[in-house]
Amino acid sequence: MIDTLRLTAEDAISLVERREVSAAELHAAYLGAIAERDGELHCFLRTCDEPHGSSIPIALKDVISTKGIETTAGSRILEGYTPVFDSTVAARVKAAGLSVLGKTNTDEFAMGSSTENSAWGPSCNPWDPSRVPGGSGGGTAAAVSAGLAPWGLGSDTGGSIKQPSALCGNVGLRPTYGTVSRYGVVARSSSSVLAGVVGSGMGRPHVGLHHLGVLRDRGVVALGEDLAARQHGDLERALAPVGQLDRGAGDELGEADRLDQLERARVVGADLDGDEAAGLLGETLGLEDRVARHASPPLARLALIAALNGTGGGRCWD
């Protein structure tokens, strides 16, 4: 019998890798724990009976779009809404072999700090069910603390990952805005919401964040605008080549070239240092001299990502 209450994410991964249990057996063990204990806690709004990955399961807050799985953002307004696409973070955890265990409770449209304001009823703190688990992502935090999930994904605008994790006695990691794509996440505030990880100890969220990827494709234009403006103060100068792309070189690109550039941006992402980014930015836009004169390496790196994202028919993917 698998004791999910004391099983950390790393321990669960080790069990699967050593073939002591299969992914399907582990998934079933967590479903059994949910069936036994979630009636009192109400962490989950729905569960997935069959695993679709080769590794451990993960719980997703109900604001994260999941293909074929109802996503309501804790509201009856979206009752019956089943996305036809995966959010970027959901796609990435699936690509890493994790299977979706289920969708967890949240304050309606993530507007709350106690998970008492869900249209589907409140969640409870596993340490004391008479108390709240925090919010808006109280369902995810409570599920991890109660051993109903090894880890989970949440969203954070003003504390919706960190605060419920603190109240439930685990660790919530809110990444820097822009480092993890928010594409497909129902946003309370598009300019500040992001996806992050909840785990039972310091190492667990870090491992989970690795599966999400950083500085990749969708949602990174805002990173360039935010970080460059705050840290360097000369965003306009650094992104001047992007404006040139809009007026000149970009208009001559065919659709195949645009898609090729987007793919290059997705692949290289955070792997380039500043000098390499400056070189690729100049090469891509045909503006080597201008980039060399006006963009410092850190800003060139941000401008590269913004520019290549912007060539895809003008869509920011935010």
Q: In this predicted structure, what is the pLDDT of residue 39?
A: 96
Which of the residues 160, 165, 181, 200 is marked catalytic? 160
Cβ neighbours of residue 238 closer than 8 Å, sequence gap 6 or more? 228, 232, 294, 295, 296, 299, 300, 302, 303
- The larger pLDDT score, comparing residue 157 to residue 211, is at 157
Q: What is the mean pLDDT of the chain?
A: 74
Q: 59 has which bridge partners?
A: 102, 152
Q: Which of 39-48, 91-100, 206-215 has the highest mean pLDDT?
A: 39-48
Residue 160 known to be catalytic: yes
Note the pLDDT tens digit of each residue in 302-317: 454 444 444 332 222 2
- Residue 41 backbone phi and psi in degrees, to 5: -95, -30
Residue 67 known to be catalytic: no
As a whole-number percent, the residues of the chain with pLDDT over 90 amount to 45
pLDDT band at 190 (very low <50, low <70, confident <90, very high): confident
Which of 262-272 are b and which e, b meaning 16 or more Cβ less than 10 Å from the residue's Cβ? beebbebbeeb
Which of the residues 65, 87, 118, 136 is marked catalytic? 136
Note the pLDDT tens digit of each residue in 96-135: 889 999 999 999 999 999 999 999 999 999 999 999 999 9
Q: What is the dihedral of CA 251, 276, 300, 93, to 10 degrees?
A: 80
Q: In this predicted structure, what is the pLDDT of residue 233?
A: 38
Query: Which domains are present in the chain?
Result: 4-212 (3.90.1300.10), 221-310 (no CATH)
Residue 113 known to be catalytic: no
- The larger pLDDT score, comparing residue 182 to residue 224, is at 182
Query: What value, to the nearest 5°, has the Cα angle with vertex 188 and ends 304 and 43?
Result: 115
pLDDT band at 69 (very low <50, low <70, confident <90, very high): very high
Helix H or strand E segment including 196: strand 194-199
Q: 102 has which bridge partners?
A: 47, 59
Which of the residues 55, 61, 114, 181 is marked catalytic? 61
